[in-house]
Amino acid sequence: MSDISVSAESSSRSPLSEEVARRRTFAIISHPDAGKTTLTEKLLLFGGAINLAGQVKAKGERRNTRSDWMKIERERGISVVTSVMTFEFNDLVFNLLDTPGHEDFSEDTYRTLTAVDSAVMVIDAAKGIEARTRKLFEVCRLRDIPIITFINKMDRESRDTFELLDEIEKTLALDTTPMTWPVGRGRGFLGTYDVVNGGVRLLEGGGAKTGATEQIDIADLGKRNPNLDVAEVKDELALASEACKPFELAAFREGHLTPVYFGSALRNFGVGDLLEGLGKFAPAPRAQDSDLRKVEAAEPRMSAFVFKIQANMDPNHRDRIAFARLCSGKLSRGMKAKLVRTGKNMSLSSPQFFFAQDRSVADEAFAGDVVGIPNHGTLRIGDTLTEGEELTFVGVPSFAPEIVRRVRLTDAMKAKKLKEALQQMSEEGVVQVFRPRDGAPALVGVVGPLQLDVLKARLDAEYSLPVEFEVSEFSLARWISSDDRKKLDAFIAANNSGIADDVDGDPVFMAKNEFYLGYISERAEGITFSNVKDVK
Ligand code: GDP
């Protein structure tokens, strides 16, 4: 086993860099049902953020009753809300950014992944890598986000350990280093062997609430379970340590290697090991790319970007919360920040922290933290806040929609109101809106149909705008650009009936189908057609 200490990171520092070094900002990626919610609850238990397991979902359900559009969540048993949960453990501050489980809201998830420094990949031990895990993993890889793996549901029938590790290596092209190793499987699952320090942690006998586990020497296993073939277990462990690559911090940080933990979120087993691993190996807030320069987390001046807008979190307040990830420095309550897009200053009078049960006003927050900034539509996704510097963080992406629909208003008198409402919805990232240049009614683009349901419900509830969606002549949208302004103008003039403006006024080419898109793009010399746009 190689040296896995990270002491290099804790040499003498300023108070700000000490605070930054304490932060771990991460998300959990998984296929639905693998156990993300259960694991989240258990992680929060460790941090003392909640006292009772089950509260994450319970809270979600309570929240769902609060507003009309959230009824959709309740009816379909899905979580639309992306939120952040902050907890402390072992003198570290963990910011866990939750992501919606349903793939119709994957844009939300992608944007959330721009705001984390690492991710925990939860895999169901009986199922291995599933479709959505794989997709989300690819997004992490694009952004060089290091991954820690938690193989869950070890208390149930599971696949062979070697086979699971092999599948991760092959399908994700990612080296694995098991940090723990399961002893027994399915009904015979006894616990895990600590590959780094030796000793076996037993599933039984621990405190399910506290996550405390009893640890015994491997030689004593047989006494605990006479049915267990200890020699076989020893052989497997020997084989495992021979076959597995030693843990290398650099390879992990670069995204080439994942440490793997085995456990059962339901039984609160292995969660403590995972959290310790996260504290020890996952990176503190990383430098962030902006259009001007790389911004280091420990720079004294505050900077942040907005990756998520949440409306109506509390209908008593009818507020909109912009979730901002601090990229550098310290945010103090009451400070003024420059909204770079408009050049205007805004006062951060009540930035908020979110805990599992509560939110509270944040007096100060540091790089890596996520704060909620209440506002009435001033902030939009991709916005940068600074202490004056004219820089913009790059990389909060928009993706070309999978589904395009025309919005039909049942009351034509309300066209102006609809325009405003759609602008707001697109700034919040609920849907994308495309305005045809020929004056035809607006088009909306979504990744999945549930987004249309949310849009419809919210337009109705918040703006009293009943709308229907119609199939349009267009099914695809591509952002168009060119190094040569004249070429772009000429293309737009020649294809006017297929050009629309997005939320920022950037031109988008709308096409009937792939064939037509291919036909046009092959002939449009010097024009780039893109299905991703980085929100600036
Ligand atoms: P999510 O969709 O990924 O958030 O998954 P949930 O946390 O809601 O879990 C899905 C189901 O699997 C629930 O019925 C959980 O109780 C169950 N589950 C989660 N973790 C475990 C585990 O470690 N062992 C067992 N046996 N069931 C689990």
The 10s digit of each residue's pLDDT in 344-376 is 999 998 887 765 445 666 678 999 999 889 888
Q: What is the whole-number distance in angstroms between the Cα of residue 155 and the centre of ligand 1?
A: 11
Confidence at residue 360, expressed as pLDDT on a 0 to 100 scale? 65
Annotated binding residue 210: no
Residue 66 has pLDDT above 80, yes or no: no
C-alpha–C-alpha distance, residues 479 and 163, integer Å: 43
Going along the chain from its start, the domains and CATH numbers come out as: 28-78+119-281 (3.40.50.300), 288-386 (3.40.50.300), 397-534 (3.30.70.3280)
Strand partners, 303: 328, 386
C-alpha–C-alpha distance, residues 455 and 115, integer Å: 25
At 450, is the pLDDT very low, low, confident or very high (cuts 50, 70, 90)?
A: confident
Distance of alpha carbon 433 from its chain centroid, rounded? 23
Backbone dihedral angles phi then psi of residue 221, each to the nearest 5 degrees: -55, -45
Average pLDDT over residues 301-317: 78
SS (H, E, C) 136-165: HHHHHHHCCCCEEEEEECCCCCCCCHHHHH
Q: Does ligand 1 lie within 6 Å of residue 34's CB atom? A: yes
Residue 386: half-sphere exposure toward Cβ, Cα within 13 Å? 15
SS (H, E, C) 499-517: EEECCCCCEEEEECCHHHH
* DSSP tag of 442: P
C-alpha–C-alpha distance, residues 157 and 153, integer Å: 8
Confidence at residue 45, expressed as pLDDT on a 0 to 100 scale? 81
SS (H, E, C) 372-420: EEEECCCCCCCCEEECCCCCCECCEEEECCCEEEEEEECCHHHHHHHHH
Which helix (H) or strand (E) segment holds residue 422: the answer is helix 415-427
Q: What is the whole-number distance in angstroms between the Cα of residue 152 and the centre of ligand 1?
A: 8
Task: Collect all residues with Cβ–Cβ distance below 8 Å to 388 and sequence separation of at least 6.
Answer: 301, 338
Of 185, 209, 187, 213, the residue nearest 200 (C-alpha): 213
Quickly count: other Cβ atoms within 10 Å of residue 375's Cβ: 17
User: Taking all residues of the chain, what is their mean pLDDT, rounded to a whole number?
Assistant: 84
At 489, is the pLDDT very low, low, confident or very high (cuts 50, 70, 90)?
A: very high
353 token code pair: 């922290």
Average pLDDT over residues 249-254: 96
333 token code pair: 């309550």
More confident residue, 474 or 532: 474
**What number does the ligand 1 atom closest to the CA of 101 have?**
2
Q: Does ligand 1 lie within 6 Å of residue 132's CB atom? A: no
Task: Collect all residues with Cβ–Cβ distance below 8 Å to 311 and sequence separation of at least 6.
Answer: 319, 320, 321, 428, 458, 462
Q: By alpha-carbon position, which residue is closest to atom 6 of ligand 1?
A: 35
Helix (H, G, I), strand (E, B) or coil at 9: helix
Residue 8 has pLDDT above 80, yes or no: no
Helix (H, G, I), strand (E, B) or coil at 257: strand
Residue 211 has pLDDT above 80, yes or no: no
Rg (CA), the chain: 25
Q: Does ligand 1 lie within 6 Å of residue 101's CB atom? A: yes
Confidence at residue 374, expressed as pLDDT on a 0 to 100 scale? 86
Q: Does ligand 1 lie within 6 Å of residue 156's CB atom? A: yes
Q: Worst-scoring range by mean pLDDT, 189-193, 342-346, 357-361, 395-399?
A: 357-361
Average pLDDT over residues 53-82: 41
**With contact defined as beta carbons under 8 Å apart, do 368 and 285 qualify?**
yes
Q: What is the whole-number distance in angstroms between the Cα of residue 284 and the centre of ligand 1?
A: 29
Q: What is the whole-number distance in angstroms between the Cα of residue 421 and the centre of ligand 1?
A: 38
Average pLDDT over residues 67-95: 63
Strand partners, 408: 468
Mind listing the pLDDT tens digit for each residue in 314-332? Answer: 555 556 889 999 999 999 9
Q: What is the whole-number distance in angstroms between the Cα of residue 119 and the centre of ligand 1?
A: 19
Residue 238 has pLDDT above 70, yes or no: yes
**With contact defined as beta carbons under 8 Å apart, do 340 and 358 qualify?**
no
Mind listing the pLDDT tens digit for each residue in 96-154? Answer: 998 776 777 778 888 899 999 999 999 999 999 999 899 899 889 988 899 999 999 99
